[in-house]
Structure formats: structure tokens, C-alpha cells
Amino acid sequence: MQNIHVPFPCADQLVRCSVSVFQIYLPYYIIIKICEVENCCKIRELLPSGLVNPLFFHAHSINFAIKQEFIWLKIFYYLLFALIFFFKNANAQNAEDNPKLVVGIVIDQMRWDYLYRFGNNYSNDGFKRMLNSGYSFENTYIPYLPTYTAVGHTSVYTGSVPAIHGIAGNNWYERSISKKVYCTDDSTVTTVGSNTSQGKMSPVNMWVTTVSDELRLSTNFKSKVIGVSIKDRGSILPAGHSANAAYWYDDKEGKWISSSYYMNELPAWVKKINNADEVAQYMSKDWNLLLDKQKYLQSDNDANDFEGTYHGQKNNSFPYDLNAIEKKEKYAAFKTTPFAATYTFNFAEAAIENEKLGQNTVPDFLAVSISSTDYIGHRNGPNSLEIEDAYLRLDRDIAHFLQFLDAKIGKEKYLIFLTADHAVNHIPAYLNAHKLPGAVFDNKSFVNQINDAVEAAFGIKKIILNSDNYQLYLDRKAISHSGKDANLVKEKIMEEVRKFPFVTDVFETQKILVTTIPEPLHTRLINGYNALRSGDIHYIIKPGYFSGSSKGTTHGMWNPYDSHIPLIWYGWHIKPGATHKEVYMTDIAPTVAALLKIQMPSGCVGKVLQEIVN
């Protein structure tokens, strides 16, 4: 019989042929290929001899004679088997549909520009690794007031704002108990791990869930969630209500502690770390510059009068003799050294190791907050040698942590986001030295002047019960008992506030919606107003100004120097890139939720970052 050469067919010919030929020979072909892979010669011997190579067929086997190899058929077979192996691998990768471990890293008081200001002295394995291999949102802002630690950590992990999540500041005046409260205070729990009261803390004051809570809910509480921070609020609020544990630092005894909200006793591995008293070892040496001084090109001169001193020491320049600090002060002083960041990351690694985070059948979550950068920044300011050195050391700590995750969890198997809870203002005296505007005002004198004016006008003594977060909490009972018109009293207070040269605006908090304040400030004020926890009067001050000490600096305002923060995503399913699109701190939690395919937190107002999920 004459042999027929069949050229490469068009699509419809291929389909028609596939119906007749593939249905007959495909099962045998699959068996043969499996045999070839598994080297099963005995099974091959049982097959018809004409089927040993199904790419060659005799004419009597089908309607036409084929002696030459069907190149197009061979291509089709290989494509088909590629698809088979694709689906096989897809099924095998179902377990990889989520990262093994999610790590949130919040650097307390980190300004966005620190990513680049100190970049020349960063290693290639810390911040630069995350920037080069991760995705950076270069214009990430805080969409509320005030910009403080407790509010920032809560907003990152809830995707919400103070108006909804309830954390109105680090502190606020609670009218229901006529008392100033701290954000994580909880008198119903006890300290676990030390003999102090520093463990009487929990997330009870937070009204909504965190993304880590939602992860626990979505996995029927199989996921482990742990929070770690020197500051209690940096650990407790991110970890959420249902966390397995939250650990923070007791600066009286130099130990990692927790509260009875989470456990009755510290795990053995935490006790072992505490018994080693590593803090004493850190505080027995000097804090000197990591690099040669001439390499610190982004810092001001050392030993400036406008910088704070170090725990009673007269010296405020390098090297710092940590061993000279009084013994009773050493544990507290440790928080304000860069070694506290190293200590925190080491503890985080120990938590991963001992709690077997990332070894679960479902994703686990570790919330890490670095607090020492905030303490150093407050004391020395963003233009100091101290803060630059702290970030160079932090860069090395991050590099070590990433290498640990690579080895323990596996590259591309963990997801990290790195951000900040707020940024920070320059020290006003530093600004003034360079002919830039800025100043400090004394809050106590400010309040006393207003109280005196109201007493003179209405006979009401100490009308201001509390002044926090640039808000005034008024004694409503005293106003009511005086018989005076409350509106007139408030007008008098606002009249007095306007007399201060650093004030640009003042208004009743209940009337925020109708105030004539420009954007973006107006929205930030609305997001920050909590009817149950905010004050009665809110005042806005000039850029560069703040309430505080003449030495050092602080934060809390809406301005970019306080609200422009870094946001880098790195690891699992993250492609390298960057954008200058304006996004917000509140977008982090819903994006994590989208990546994990879980529900957003209960008070979430943020949006999913499409650059990450796509």
C-alpha cells in the first residue's frame, strides 16, 4: 500500500483527527510514557507490539496508511502531556496557595525617607533586598489624626481608623469612668512572667478584629498568631483578640512578659531567654558607631544642645558607656539602644523556632514591632548620628532575619510587609538653626491660660479635665452645675485658643463634618473623631510645631513629616516593583486578607492594593 505523507494540519483537521486517533491510542501512550518514567519493562511487554511507538501507525490499523512520523502529532502529544503535568503540579501546589508564614514588621517612628537617606550605608541584604526584590508603595500615608503608636499599630492590622476601631490615642480620657486611660490597660488580668504590674494589659479597648483575628477565624483557629514587641501596645494590638500569645518587655525586671489574657505561665523557651539575662550583657558594653564616623553623611554634628541626654548622663555623644548607667536604670535604658531591636528580632526567631510557626497546615502569623527606633528618635531626632546608626544596625538585623526565614521557612514561602506606625517631625531648634519654621509649646501653660480665662469669665474652675492628642476634654458636669450656657463656654474656650500664635484653627469635635477645613486634613479629622473617646475641642497647629520638650522631638500631626511612611511587600507571590500612587496605612490589612483569601477585619475601611494581589 502506498505510503501517504500528511503535512502539518490546520486546526479543524487536528480536531477531527484527534477524535478518531487519540481516543484509541492515548490510553496506551500514557501507559507507555509512565512505564518509561518508572522503567516498568514487564508492563511494556504486555502491550501490543504495534503500540510500542504510537507515533507510527500502519495503514491497515486506520483508514489511511502512515509510515512517516507525524511531527504535528508528536507536538500535540507533548503539549498534551505538558498540560497533564501542569494540572498534576497544580494539585500538588494546593498547599502552596497560601504562604506558610505571614510576618508583619512595624518600625516604630520610621519616616519613609529613611529608606533612601541612609541607603549608601545599608547592606545589600536588608532594606535593599526588600526594595530590590519586593514591591514598594512610595506614597503611603496615615489617613487620620492623631499619628501615635497605639493608633498606628491598630490601624495597620485592622484596616480601620480611630472613629471605628476605638483606639483614639496612646491615652485618652474615658468619660464613663471619669479617668484618663492607657490604650491597653486591663485591670481584670494579671502579669505573667514578672512581679510588676506591666503585664496588666490586653486588647480589650479595641472594638474590632484584626487581620490576624480573621486568619484564626478562617482556619477554625488552627493558625497560630503571636505578637512580639518591646512596647506592650506594639505587640498586643497587632496580635488581636484571639492571638495565641503576645509578648512585650518589662523594663523593671528586663524580661519578656505576657498577661493572663493569653496564658497562665510563660512557655519554657521564654523562661530560658529571661534566665539568660541577655539585656545585662548588652548593657555591659559601649554603644559606639557601627561604621567609621566619616561615613555618616546624613547626620548633624554629634552632641547638640537640642538633643536629649541618656538616662541622667551628661554626655549625649558617642561612644555611650552603657555600663556606667545606674543598675536600677539599665533595664529601662536598654529600650533606647539599637540593641533592643536585635533583641526583638532574636526573640521573634525563637518564637518561630519553638512555636513551629510556618510548619502548620495553614498559614501562621507573626506580628513584630521594633520600638527602639521610636525611643532613640524622640531623644535625638531624625538628623542625629544616633538615629542613623540605629537604622544601619536595624538594616543588619533585618538581613539576618530574612536569612533565618529563608532557612527555616523557605524562600518564597513567607510573606512580609514592612511599614511604620507613624513618622516624626524634625527638632524645632534644628529647623530654626537652618532658618526653617518650627517651635515647641508647653501644654501645661497652654491649659492653665485657658482655665484662668474661663474662670474669670464664668466662675468655673479648671474647665479642662484633660488635654491629649491636641484635644481638650471639658468638665461637662461643672458647666451644667454652673448654670452657664455650654455653647457660650465653648466659644470662650475657642476664643482663648485662637490667641496662641501657633494655632491655625479650632472647632468643636462634634461639628467636624461642617467645619471649613481643607482636604486632606478634613478627612483625617473625621476619621480620627471618636464620639466616645475624643475631646470636646480640637485645635490645629502650624507645621513644624508641637507640644513637648525643648529637647528632642515628637509626632502626632497630619503633616507629611508625621504621616508619610514606608510600605514594602516582600516574599510569597510578590513581584519586584514600585509605585508612587497614593495609598494608605489602612490598605494593608485588606490586602493581606485578599492574599490569604479570608474576610477583611470587622471595621475595615481600606482598599485592596491591586498591585499586590494581581
82's grid cell: 505538558
Least confident range of 14-28, 32-46, 240-254, 577-591: 14-28
- pTM for the structure as a whole: 0.85
Considering only CA atoms, which of 359, 420, 348 is closest in space to residue 99?
359
- Name the residue among 599, 591, 601, 582 with its Cα closest to residue 102: 591
Q: What is the pLDDT of residue 83?
A: 52
Question: With 60 as the cut, is the pLDDT of residue 27 above it?
Answer: no
Which has the closest alpha carbon to 437: 359, 310, 561, 545? 545
Q: Which three cell numbers stand for residue 475?
A: 468638665
Task: Say whether pLDDT at 45 is over 80.
Answer: no
Task: Specify which of 56-70, 80-94, 472-486 reaches the highest per-range mean pLDDT.
Answer: 472-486
Choice between 57 and 469, residue whose per-residue pLDDT is larger: 469
Q: What is the pLDDT of residue 535?
A: 97
Tell me which of 160-174, 212-226, 259-273, 287-301 is least confident.
287-301
Say what angle helices 339-354 and 268-276 make with each other, to 10 degrees: 150
Mean pLDDT, rounded, for 322-336: 91
What's the chain's average pLDDT? Answer: 89
- Going by C-alpha positions, the residue among 235, 231, 230 that lies closest to residue 203 is 235
Q: Which amino acid is at 78?
A: Y
- Indicate if the pLDDT at residue 555 is higher than 60: yes
Inform me whether the pLDDT recorded for 375 exceeds 80.
yes
Q: How confident is the model at residue 93 (pLDDT cuts 50, 70, 90)?
A: very low
Any catalytic annotation for residue 149?
yes
Buried residues in 338-351 as b, exposed as e (16+ CB within 10 A): bbbbbbbbbbbbbb
Cell of 89: 503540579
CB 593 within 8 A of CB 157: no
Q: How confident is the model over 475-491, as a mean pLDDT?
A: 97
pLDDT of residue 278: 96
Task: Quote the pLDDT of residue 111.
Answer: 99
pLDDT at 12: 41
- Tell me what percent of the residues of the chain surpass a pLDDT of 90: 79
For position 74, what pLDDT does the model report? Answer: 53
Q: In percent, how much of the chain has pLDDT > 70? A: 84
Check pLDDT > 60 for residue 42.
Answer: no
Write b or e for each residue in 520-542: b if 16 or more Cβ atoms lie within 10 A of its Cβ, otherwise e.
ebeebbbbbbbeebbbbbbbbbe
Range 199-222 average pLDDT: 99
Question: Which entry of 147, 149, 509, 553 is annotated as an active-site residue?
Answer: 149
Question: 292-306, 332-346, 365-379, 523-537 — which is least confidently predicted?
Answer: 292-306
Pick the more confident residue, 332 or 78: 332
Q: Calculate the alpha carbon distances from 568 to 112, 134, 387, 484 in Å.
A: 11, 7, 21, 54
pLDDT digits (tens, 9 = 90+) for 430-441: 999 999 999 999
Residue among 240, 279, 288 nearest 261 (CA)? 240
pLDDT of residue 36 exceeding 60? no
Q: Is the pLDDT of residue 593 over 50?
A: yes
**What are the structural domains, with CATH classification, of the chain?**
11-94 (no CATH), 97-433+555-613 (3.40.720.10), 439-542 (3.30.1360.150)
Q: What is the pLDDT of residue 34?
A: 45
Contact 363, 100 (CB under 8 A): yes
| Mean pLDDT of the region 157-164 | 99
pLDDT band at 312 (very low <50, low <70, confident <90, very high): low
Query: How sure is the predictor about 59, in pLDDT bands with cuts at 50, 70 and 90?
Result: very low
Q: Is the pLDDT of residue 240 over 90?
A: yes
The dihedral of CA 152, 158, 163, 165: what is its sign?
A: negative
Statement: residue 368 has pLDDT above 80: yes
N residues, the chain: 614
- Between 6 and 179, residue with greater pLDDT: 179
Long-range contacts of range 221-225, CB-CB < 8 Å, 24 or more positions apart? 222/360, 222/361, 222/362, 223/360, 223/362, 223/363, 223/364, 223/365, 224/355, 224/356, 224/357, 224/360, 224/364, 224/365, 225/364, 225/365, 225/366, 225/367
